[in-house]
């Protein structure tokens, strides 16, 4: 029982990384811009956050810089996709390579640079006493995990129940209609791509300063940016579903790591311990899932049925009919 609680507790922390990245991408896609550069932006965030925390001793300053750095990087994609109206898939892929490249060069030597003060954790009184759920969600979790809990309903409320959220949806669904009523489509799309970048940067800093601290070059994120892109489709562009998916995948990641530890499993020899190939197979699963979701989700008809923003991936050109 305690083992299960431990795995789920670590899973929630690990899922918080996916949560920020997924909801960030969800904002960008809701405005009609597909940004496949999440992985690159997360790496920039993880690297810059870690190095600022190392230099200043203040992890919160690290988080702030991580968010700004990734937000800045996202604006390259915004310029190419929104102003130059180029193909968003190509530009997003390029952004991943660019982000990875920059962070590997600037992060050279960072992995053995010494220890860094991490983001604080805390237990919530009373709530952490709830049997089973208490220790999973409210015991010894990083502050960022709690911020994640508050963030999801706020994101949902913002998108569905506020005026700026309504404008966000309109711009992603039918930009011509929004434009005709005086909404600045380009400005809003820049803004939400920026917010997506900021949240990807936060996700990166969550890894390097809280969940699995340190800088391990591209292994720091280990493809979680791609899982986030897949989760947005899985979540059907809804923050609550995104949260469910993120925590489930966080828990799965922990389970895959932890299941390879013990020599005995359920009274039998643990195949994941004795045979490394079984472990590799397990590690592959989240990525296999992501590939399947992305392939299925790339079909126009399926996307429509899932409720994708109608103008997702289409640059807006004023005066052209339709989307």
Partner 1 sequence: MDTLERKTTNPSVAEGATLFVEMNGIVKRFPGVLANDHVDFVLRHGEIHALLGENGAGKSTLMNVLAGLYRPESGTILVKGKVVNFSSPRDAIKAGIGMIHQHFMLVPSQTVTENILLGLDKPRFRLQLNEYDHIVADLSERFGLKVEPRAKVWQLSVGEQQRVEILKMLYRGTDILIMDEPTAVLAPQEIEDLFKTLRAMVAEGKSIIFISHKLHEVMAIADRVTVLRKGKVTAAGLDARKTTLQELARQMVGREVIFHLDKKLNTPGEIVLEVEDVCAENDKGLQALNGLSLDVRAGEIVGLAGVAGNGQRELAQVITGLRRCTDGCVILNGEVICNRSALVGIQRGVSHIPEDRTGVGTAPDLSVTDNVIMKQYRRPPIAQHGMLNMQVATKFANELKESYDIIVPNVETPVRLLSGGNLQRVILAREISGQPSLMVAVQPTRGLDVGAIEGVHRLLLSQRESGAAILLISEELEELLSLSDRVYVIYEGRIMGEVKIGAGGSSPEMIDTVGLMMTGTPLEQIRKGEAERNV
The closest of 219, 226, 208, 218 to 48, measured between CA atoms, is 208
User: What distance, in Å, lies between the first and last C-alpha atoms of the chain?
Assistant: 53
CB closer to partner 1 out of 126 and 181: 181
On whether the CB atoms of residues 119 and 60 are closer than 8 A, the answer is yes
On whether the CB atoms of residues 187 and 94 are closer than 8 A, the answer is no
Q: Which residues bind partner 1 (CB under 8 A)?
A: 161-164, 166-167, 169-170, 173-174, 176-178, 180-183, 301, 304-305, 307, 310, 321-322
Q: How far is the CB of 308 from partner 1 (least distance, A)?
A: 10
CB closer to partner 1 out of 264 and 301: 301
Neighbours of 317 (CB within 10 A): 9
Cβ neighbours for 90, distance < 8 A, ≥ 6 positions apart: none
Neighbours of 56 (CB within 10 A): 14
CB closer to partner 1 out of 282 and 310: 310
Q: How far is the CB of 181 from partner 1 (least distance, A)?
A: 3
CB closer to partner 1 out of 1 and 301: 301
Q: How far is the CB of 231 from partner 1 (least distance, A)?
A: 21
CB closer to partner 1 out of 40 and 309: 309
The closest of 236, 237, 211 to 224, measured between CA atoms, is 211
Phi, psi of 117 (to 5 degrees): -75, 130
Q: How far is the CB of 320 from partner 1 (least distance, A)?
A: 11
Q: How far is the CB of 173 from partner 1 (least distance, A)?
A: 5
Q: How far is the CB of 166 from partner 1 (least distance, A)?
A: 5
| Number of residues written out for the chain | 323
Name the token pair of 55. 């230099």
CB closer to partner 1 out of 104 and 183: 183
């Amino acid at each position: 029982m305690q083992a299960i609680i431990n795995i789920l507790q670590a899973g929630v922390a690990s899922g918080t990384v996916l949560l920020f990245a997924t909801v960030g991408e969800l904002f960008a896609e809701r405005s009609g811009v597909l940004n496949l550069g999440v992985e690159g932006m997360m790496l920039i965030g993880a690297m810059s956050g870690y190095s600022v925390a190392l230099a200043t001793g203040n992890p919160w300053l690290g988080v702030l810089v991580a968010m700004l750095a990734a937000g800045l990087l996202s604006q390259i994609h915004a310029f190419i996709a929104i102003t130059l109206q180029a193909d968003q898939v190509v530009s997003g892929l390029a952004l991943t390579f660019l982000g990875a490249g920059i962070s590997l060069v600037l992060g050279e030597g960072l992995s053995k640079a010494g220890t860094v003060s991490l983001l604080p954790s805390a237990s919530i009184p009373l709530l952490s006493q709830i049997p089973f759920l208490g220790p999973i969600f409210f015991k010894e979790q990083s502050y960022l995990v709690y911020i994640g809990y508050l963030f999801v309903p706020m994101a949902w409320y913002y998108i569905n129940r506020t005026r700026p959220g309504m404008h966000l949806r309109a711009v992603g669904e039918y930009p011509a209609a929004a434009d005709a009523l005086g909404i600045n489509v380009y400005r809003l799309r820049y803004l939400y791509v920026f917010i997506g970048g900021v949240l990807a940067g936060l996700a990166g800093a969550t890894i390097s300063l809280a969940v699995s601290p340190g800088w391990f070059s591209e292994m720091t994120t280990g493809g979680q940016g791609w899982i986030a892109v897949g989760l947005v489709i899985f979540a059907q562009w809804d923050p609550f579903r995104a949260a469910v998916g993120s925590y489930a995948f966080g828990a799965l990641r922990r389970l895959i790591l932890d299941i390879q530890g013990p020599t005995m499993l359920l009274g039998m020899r643990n195949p994941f311990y004795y045979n490394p190939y079984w472990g590799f197979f397990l590690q592959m699963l989240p990525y296999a899932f992501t590939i399947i979701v992305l392939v299925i989700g790339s079909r126009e008809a399926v996307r429509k049925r899932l409720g994708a923003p109608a103008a997702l991936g289409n640059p807006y050109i004023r005066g052209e009919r339709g989307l």
